Amino acid sequence: MIGEIWNLIILEPIINVLIVLSHYLFSSFGLAIIALTIVVNGCMYPLTLKQLRASKAMQALQPKLAELQKKYAKDKEKLAKEQMKMYKESGVSPAGCIVPMLIQMPIWIALYQSIIRLLAVTPEDFLGLSQYLYSWPVVYSALPLGNKFLWLNLATPDSYLVLPLLVGGTMWVQQKMIMSTTADPKQQAQSRMMLWMMPLMFAFITLSFPSGLALFWVTSSAIRIAIQYFVTGWGGLVKVTAPKQAGRDKKYKKRIAQVEERPSEDADTGADIVEPSSGQEEGLGYGESGDKSQDRGRGDSARLRGIRRQPGRSRSHRPKRR
Amino acid sequence: MEIRCNKILLVKVLLFLVILLVSGLTGFGCAGTGTIPKGWSGGVVVDDTLFLGSMEGKVVAIDVLSHTRLWEVPLETSEQAAGGFGCAPASTAVAIYGSPAVAEELVYVGGYNGKIYAFSVGKDEPRWVYPREGNLQPIVGGAIVSQGKLYFGCSDGKVYALDAAEGYKQWEFQTGDKIWSTPAIDGDTLFIGSFDKKLYALSATDGSKKWEFETGGAITSTPLVYDNTIYIGSFDRHFYAVDATDGSLKWRSEVEAGSWFWAKPVAYNGVIYAGSLDHKVYILNAETGEEVVDAINLGSPISSSPVLVDDSVIIASEDGRVWTIDTSNNQQSELKNLEEKIYASLCASDGVVYIHTSEGELHALNAQSGTKLWSL
């Protein structure tokens, strides 16, 4: 039942659109894959943007979270409470970085299944393909789709190993762009693992998957890199980045800055989050995610001055969240 | 509830998503290449012995009277049968799709590994293999033997003619795309369809092209030669009658099927019976192409080629049901529900229909009553 709904709503439309695209793009299935990947990425652009911004904002909160974890190491309940409070005040939703990924995942799987079914390597696959076709004349006349694209046979792995390298390379760049440096050795290890694990894993998979699928991965990664560049700049890829900011980013940063500027309710404990000795100086905050410019020319002293200008500011006096 | 969307959580989520993605990708079959080719060879009966390609990649000879296996021999194991990631080489059997051909004590069978084999019955080693070195592209269609030559089409788009006794190449003819169709021969003319949408008529002697006829879609079904006319269905969902002499169009069916024509049609008494993947059997006047009666809906795609037994058309639908169509009134009735997928061509001898299912079972049914005589 679920399979039928999946086929009806997702798989069949994608398969038939791919065939039509192939027909109009010089009978090239390779171009059809690239075109559909661009279209799908375009449709999911708002989600991708949301995910990137949420991830970025989450990264910016890392120093503060580390502080809280350190501070409330023995009181889990209080820690959770404080974390929730921080998320709420900074306008960052923990689900913001996961939900878009979860929504996109079925689309990627459907796109993969469509490509595999259309490549129809075996007679069984090809025979099964007939069950997914619309009764559009163009669909029936366009099949079977040509497997040749550039030097590739889209139905078989790339024997020249160019695609595995491209898949791994583009994924590495993408991972590197979203990475931020951290002083926490545990997080550093995790970051390094993610930086190398995903690209290596997908490059390895590409060695035995049809080139058509690898083409889809490379195109997707390239698009993600482009989107990411416009959202966060080169991020962790280069040390000094050009400022790239969208309006929504500024909103996130302002909120985070407000959270950081706000004197903690537990200020008397000495855990002032605006202390220069916290993550800011260690590059934990905006630095590697391309947001350093936000603080450039202002610095901690300016922020401290801002706090001094509002010595008695409490939660009720905080600027209204937009 | 404690929500920890920090880096650790993100890493865990990403790891989970990667596992989910890979599971999703590989969930419906062999990763990367879809399903593993299994084959769907039909049988051929010669002198009370049925020859077929089994799902285990073996050529099998069965005595239909005692329904015992007389002999079986595997085609060589194939690395191609194994995929890559997620496709552990659990089975290295060579898939066999085409029905074997038998002539002069030799059994010929094409493998999905791109080789064609000639076996002497009872011997474990093939008499010859073509090509001797390396492999062609997968061979999906069946082979036929005529006048000392073996003919078959290949996924490399070529039609090959070999010396049937020794396996040396006599000629080859290149089409525009891969060939999954089994050739048909009439006198000195060989007819074969190609994925390039064309039906070809070739000289059986030297492979020169006599004519070609283009349809609107790819052709995988085997052409039917009947009354100096070639009948063939296409992926464009139309059925065609083409003059066998010059390749001119006699008619194109007015009716448009809901899906591809995959199976070979049969003809009886001036009527063509053509099954389609849209679940229907189209019953057409061989002269005009008009529908004799409304198409019969069997409720499941028809990819298995039907067979004529006396004045009945025995046809199987993919869902495992076997039907008989009475040619006198074109009424269908269910002969047997085998409850196993059927893709292989049917074959018949002495009033018994032999059905090779995708489960690897061979069933013998009485063509009149539908009684199951034996299974193997």
**How much is the pLDDT for B89?**
45
ipTM of the complex model: 0.83
Out of A9-23, A126-140, A222-236, least confident range: A222-236
| Shortest Cα–Cα distance, B139 to chain A (Å) | 10
**How much is the pLDDT for A47?**
78
**How much is the pLDDT for B323?**
94
pLDDT (tens digit per residue) in A240-298: 444 445 455 555 556 656 655 554 444 333 333 333 333 333 333 333 333 433 444 34
Out of A129-133, A234-238, B340-344, least confident range: A234-238
| Percentage of residues of chain B with pLDDT beyond 90 | 60
What would the two tokens of residue A210 be? 């049809």
Tokens 């401290």 belong to A304
Question: Which of A 121-160 lie inside 8 A of B, CB atoms?
Answer: 121-125, 127, 130-131, 133, 135, 137, 140-141, 143-144, 155, 157
B7 in reach of chain A (CB within 8 A): yes
Q: Which of A16, A85, A122 to mutate to test the interface with B (most CBs of B within 10 A)?
A: A122
Q: Closest Cα to residue B198, out of B161, B257, B153?
A: B153
Domain's final residue, options B90, B122, B154: B122
Q: Residue B235: helix, strand or coil by DSSP?
A: coil
Where in the sequence is the domain holding B351, given as residue range(s)? 303-376
pLDDT (tens digit per residue) in B183-215: 999 999 999 999 999 999 999 999 999 999 999
Residue A180 or residue B224, greater confidence = B224
Q: A167 to chain B: which residues are within 8 Å by CB?
A: none
**How much is the pLDDT for B208?**
94
CB atoms within 10 A of CB A159: 11
The pLDDT mean for chain A works out to 70
**The total number of structural domains that make up chain B:** 2
Would you say residue B215 lies in a domain? no
Rounded CA gap, B190 and B192, in Å?
7
Residue B30 or residue B242, greater confidence = B242
pLDDT (tens digit per residue) in B122-159: 788 889 999 998 899 999 999 999 999 999 999 999 99
Q: How confident is the model at residue A173 (pLDDT cuts 50, 70, 90)?
A: confident
**How much is the pLDDT for A256?**
55
Domain's final residue, options B63, B87, B122: B122
What is the separation of C-alpha B2 from the centre of its chain, rounded to a whole number of angstroms?
A: 60
Give the chain B residue nearest A81 (alpha carbons): B2
Average pLDDT over residues B158-167: 94
Question: Which of B 241-300 lie inside 8 A of A, CB atoms?
Answer: 258-260, 262, 277
Average pLDDT over residues B111-117: 92
Would you say residue B82 lies in a domain? yes
pLDDT at B298 over 70: yes
Domain's final residue, options B75, B107, B122: B122
Of B9, B37, B83, the CB nearest to A123: B37
A107 in reach of chain B (CB within 8 A): no
Q: B28 to chain A: which residues are within 8 Å by CB?
A: 113
Average pLDDT over residues B309-319: 92
Q: Which of B1, B4, B8, B10 to mutate to test the interface with A (most CBs of A within 10 A)?
A: B10
CATH of the domain at B315: 2.40.10.480
One-letter amino acid for residue A10 of the chain: I
Would you say residue B340 lies in a domain? yes
Strand B266-268 and strand B271-275: pairing?
antiparallel
**How much is the pLDDT for B7?**
55
pLDDT at B35 over 80: no
Of B14, B35, B258, the CB nearest to A135: B258
**How much is the pLDDT for A152?**
80
pTM of the model: 0.73
Would you say residue B225 lies in a domain? no
| Shortest Cα–Cα distance, A309 to chain B (Å) | 32
Out of A180-189, B124-133, B283-292, least confident range: A180-189
Average pLDDT over residues B331-337: 90
**How much is the pLDDT for A220?**
85
Spell B161-193 as b/e; 16+ CB within 10 A means b: bbebeebeebbebebebbbbbbbbbbeebbbbb
Q: A198 to chain B: which residues are within 8 Å by CB?
A: 14, 18
pLDDT (tens digit per residue) in B38-88: 888 888 998 888 999 998 889 999 998 888 888 888 887 544 444 444 444
Residue boundaries of the structural domains of chain A: 61-92+247-317
Q: Do B36 and A122 touch (CB under 8 A)?
A: yes
What would the two tokens of residue B77 be? 């194991």
B237 in reach of chain A (CB within 8 A): yes
pLDDT at B370 over 90: no
Of A62, A112, A209, the CB nearest to B7: A62
pLDDT at A188 over 80: no
Q: Do A133 and B10 touch (CB under 8 A)?
A: no
| Shortest Cα–Cα distance, A200 to chain B (Å) | 12
Would you say residue B74 lies in a domain? yes
**How much is the pLDDT for B148?**
92
| Residue A268 burial class via C-beta count within 10 angstroms: exposed 0-12, middle 13-18, buried 19 and up | exposed
**How much is the pLDDT for A96?**
63
Task: Please tell me the total number of residues recorded for chain A in this structure.
Answer: 322
**How much is the pLDDT for A207?**
83
CB atoms within 10 A of CB A43: 11
Rounded CA gap, A194 and A97, in Å?
16
Rounded CA gap, A37 and A170, in Å?
15
Question: Which of A 172-201 lie inside 8 A of B, CB atoms?
Answer: 182, 186-187, 190-191, 193-194, 198, 201
What Cα–Cα distance (Å) separates residue A109 from each residue in A8, A42, A104, A133?
Answer: 15, 17, 9, 19
Task: Spell out the alpha helix ranges (H) of A99-161.
Answer: 99-119, 123-129, 137-142
pLDDT at B273 over 60: yes
Would you say residue B213 lies in a domain? no
**How much is the pLDDT for B27?**
45
**How much is the pLDDT for A321?**
41
Q: How confident is the model at residue A63 (pLDDT cuts 50, 70, 90)?
A: confident
| Percentage of residues of chain B with pLDDT beyond 70 | 86
Average pLDDT over residues A199-209: 81
| Shortest Cα–Cα distance, B269 to chain A (Å) | 31
Q: Do B5 and A98 touch (CB under 8 A)?
A: yes
Rounded CA gap, B43 and B100, in Å?
7
Out of A91-100, A114-123, B150-159, B354-363, least confident range: A91-100
pLDDT at A55 over 80: no
The pLDDT mean for chain B works out to 86
**How much is the pLDDT for B117?**
94
| Residue B47 burial class via C-beta count within 10 angstroms: exposed 0-12, middle 13-18, buried 19 and up | exposed
